[in-house]
Amino acid sequence: MKFVHYALEALAGRLVKWLVSLPPTLFLLVFFVAPSLIVVLASFRYPGEFGGLASLLPLFGADSGLTLETYRFFFSDFVYFEIFLKSFGVAALTTLICIVMAYPLAWLIARSPKKRRDLLVLLVILPFASNFLIRVYAWIIILGPFNLLYTSFAVIVGMVYVHLPFMVLPLYTNLEKHDPALLEAAQDLGANAWTRFWKITFPLSLPGIFSGSVLVFIPVLGMFAIPELLGGTGDILIGNLIKEQFLDNRDWPLGAMLSIMLTVAVLALAGLSAWAGRGKGRMA
């Protein structure tokens, strides 16, 4: 009897687990996995005459309606590769500038009296209270008189401005948790201020820098509004390229293919950094 009781209990436990995880699983299946598969499929189809995709069904038999044409196109034209490279460059530069600018800010907030910290964090995220486009337009007004508008510089300024809070917050969360006794111990054992930072604070903040970098790097890669509003003709990034295929060129298969290439590139990069950072988990 006891055995039956335990078996039932185990079954009930498993059932609860399933019930809890069902809604998010369903959500992700419907709104993430299915669309992704649709995008993958679209990248292998022909563009429709007036945008959209050409129908699959009437062509059955003679032609399946599927093609590798868009992929051949991508690898035959160096221009796409160049734009990818440039996008990764802009994302990397934005991330780097964000780290350099966010670090002192996050450090100061983490070191300020506990009562004031929440207020300072609120100030960091306050820009989110106004519309993103309005804030980017504000930069048009700011940069215009200095003849800096429609340049790569303006694009970087806009990117850094919009994404800075995403670097400050994880860094602050990390720095705030540092045990002040560690710095005292380091000082006690002979480390000056400079050494204390590079030997203790900085290595311990690497997980924060990493999460901040992910939160900045990936959105910047896909960003199209900022280059469109602040950049010149030469400042086209992947995001713009993809957007153009869907809205202007009406070449959905090409747009879908570019999205997939971007996803693959980001995943490859994430895998690479995970591989490079393996075994460093104990730092946190």
The end-to-end CA distance of the chain, in Å, is 47
Report, in Å, the least distance between residue 277 CB and other proteins.
13
Query: Which is nearest to 253 in space by CA: 34, 4, 40?
Result: 40
Find the DSSP H helices in the chain: 2-28, 34-42, 69-76, 78-111, 114-125, 132-143, 152-176, 180-188, 193-196, 202-222, 225-230, 238-247, 252-276
**Site stretch for other proteins (CB under 8 A), options 83-91, 200-208, 253-261, 262-270:** 200-208
Kindly tell me which of 5 and 115 has the beta carbon lying closer to other proteins: 115
Q: Closest separation between CB of residue 193 and other proteins, Å?
A: 9
Q: Which is nearer to other proteins, 142 or 204 (by Cβ)?
A: 204
> Cβ of residue 206: shortest distance to other proteins, in angstroms?
8
Please list every residue from 17 through 76 that binds other proteins, using CB under 8 A. none
With CA atoms as reference, report the closest residue to 262 among 278, 247, 243.
Answer: 243
Nearer to other proteins, 143 or 186 (CB): 186
CA distance 77 to 79: 5
Q: Which of residues 139-198 bind other proteins (CB under 8 A)?
A: 179, 181-182, 184-192, 195
Query: In this complex, which beta carbon is closest to other proteins, that of residue 154 or of residue 186?
Result: 186
CB nearer other proteins, residue 118 or residue 179: 179
231: left (phi over 0), alpha (psi -120 to 50) or beta: beta
Q: Which of 13, 58, 104, 203 binds other proteins (CB under 8 A)?
A: 203
Q: How far is the CB of 178 from other proteins (least distance, A)?
A: 10
Q: What angle do CA 52, 226, 220 make, to 5 degrees?
A: 85
Which tokens go with 1?
């009897």
**Binding residue count for other proteins, defined by CB under 8 A:** 19
Longest distance between any two alpha carbons in the chain, whole Å? 84
Residue 249: count of CB within 10 angstroms of its CB: 14
Tell me, what DSSP letter sits at residue 145? Answer: G
State which of residues 204, 218, 229, 269 lies at the interface with other proteins (CB under 8 A).
204
How many C-beta neighbours within 10 Å does residue 227 have? 23
In this complex, which beta carbon is closest to other proteins, that of residue 149 or of residue 200?
A: 200
**Cβ closest to other proteins, residue 82 vs residue 184:** 184
Q: Which residues inside 86-125 make contact with other proteins, applying CB under 8 A?
A: none
At its nearest, how many Å lie between other proteins and the CB of residue 190? 3
Residues that bind other proteins (CB under 8 A): 179, 181-182, 184-192, 195, 199-200, 203-204, 282-283
